[in-house]
Chains A and B, each alone.
Chain A
Amino acid sequence: DVQMTQSPYNLAASPGESVSINCKASKSISKYLAWYQQKPGKANKLLIYDGSTLQSGIPSRFSGSGSGTDFTLTIRSLEPEDFGLYYCQQHNEYPWTFGGGTKLELK
């Protein structure tokens, strides 16, 4: 199975700041990486797929980059609603696997 390692585990930031979350695959997954946001009481939300394609309805302050084994989710000008948990997931090969998660907290 492809192991997905996210960093950092925790991230504290203030509204208006920009942050980056990293995701590393144990082998090449080409461009096939997705990012999700998880918040209590809300359905998990797909942000990015295919490494850098923004899901419909997701604000343009979210962006994804990378290929092969190293990927990054960048959130520019943080809004209050952006705080929560973020997961990466490879969709290159079965079984689909997720990273351990990054908690983005308000500083």
Chain B
Amino acid sequence: SQQGEEDPQALSIQEGENATMNCSYKTSINNLQWYRQNSGRGLVHLILIRSNEREKHSGRLRVTLDTSKKSSSLLITASRAADTASYFCATDANGNNRLAFGKGNQVVVIP
């Protein structure tokens, strides 16, 4: 089964608001990563959080990881129109030397 399932699937917010999206996974992981993809482009790495970490920040991004609930969340604070994109979480599925991606969250920030 595919690891990483984001929730909600689509989110539309006003510029300046915060956006939160969640990701759940089914089996144990070593790391979880978040990526952004703008329309028609490749994925851009945002944050990597290891299984022994609970929270990580990068600029306006905040990622949490709850290994007991097998879930992670990505928070974008003070959103901007340029944050409009799809956001994916990815996990190292059982150490199989591959990244398993979720279906992605589409975020639209309205100016």
Partners in one complex: no
Which residues on B are within 8 Å of A, measured CB to CB? none
